[in-house]
Amino acid sequence: MKTALVTGASRGLGEALVVCLANRGYRVHGLVRTPQAVEALHGHCAAAIPIIGDVARTEVITAIRDALGRCGDGLNLLINNAGTGASIRAMQDGIEEEIAAHVNTHCLGALRVSRAALPFLRRAEPALIVNVSSRFGSTTHAAAGLFHGRPLSYAYPIAKAAQNMLTLRMAEELRPGHVQVCAVHPGQVLTASGAPDAVTTPAEAATRLVNWLESPPADLHGCYVDLDTGRPGW
């Protein structure tokens, strides 16, 4: 049986990914922040194995290592999904704090969780880390003017751009081994953090992502794919 860990499993895309992976036969660990979220997760997927932790805090590393260690399995798939949108759109009070908090969650959070999971990924084959990015983290698209006129925050695109570089750094470090790392833009998903032009339900987006992971391009390592367009998302 393959084993997966999904962060941000309390709602939205993360919850849908847990359900989808469990239905495909994975043993799925879902990282959530509160005991109430554990109950909600079990309401959607009784088989999910909860881990309580906040990816923005160092303690999450011990929580994940303890939980995966108790199960005794390797880990085939880590989906770094936790994170929400931001709100401040101008250089005003509070902006530095919001940027720091979002980089801490989207970029350093993915790093903490990956660090915690790496010994378990190294024991499994295949083994893949997926960083859930966003089209808004693309410096290529931003520089080409694709987001002109959109009411975007500073913090969210900056945090996702930082996460994209993290994906590339991790891919470089892990290149000699068998653990692969990639990033995806999951589409415009109808969640609390979704953009106003979101069109895809979390269940549809999760199914598309898992389908893609199960029949991937030959080498995913160091790739960033926009699942809406099928093109690189950098």
Interacting residue ranges for ligand NAP, rule: CB under 6 A:
7-8, 10-14, 33, 37, 54-56, 81-84, 105, 109, 132, 134, 185-186, 188-189, 191-195, 198
Instruction: Provide CB contacts within 8 A for 169, sequence distance 6+.
Output: none
Instruction: Provide CB contacts within 8 A for 24, sequence distance 6+.
Output: 210, 214
State the nearest-atom distance from the C-beta of 125 to ligand NAP, in Å: 27
Which tokens sit at 40? Answer: 């909600």
Nearer Cβ to ligand NAP (53/171): 53
Residue nearest to ligand NAP (CB): 12
Nearer Cβ to ligand NAP (13/179): 13
Nearer Cβ to ligand NAP (50/194): 194
Amino acid at 233: G
d(CA 28, CA 164): 25
d(CA 161, CA 41): 29
State the nearest-atom distance from the C-beta of 103 to ligand NAP, in Å: 12
State the nearest-atom distance from the C-beta of 9 to ligand NAP, in Å: 6
State the nearest-atom distance from the C-beta of 177 to ligand NAP, in Å: 25
Q: Give the distance from CA 99 to its chain's centroid.
A: 18
State the nearest-atom distance from the C-beta of 113 to ligand NAP, in Å: 9
Nearer Cβ to ligand NAP (122/201): 201
Alpha-carbon distance values, 65 to 5, 50, 53, 58, 219 (Å) = 12, 13, 11, 12, 28
Nearer Cβ to ligand NAP (94/177): 94
Tell how many helices (H) and how many strands (E) occur in the chain. 8, 7
State the nearest-atom distance from the C-beta of 178 to ligand NAP, in Å: 26
Alpha-carbon distance values, 68 to 72, 213, 222 (Å) = 6, 22, 25
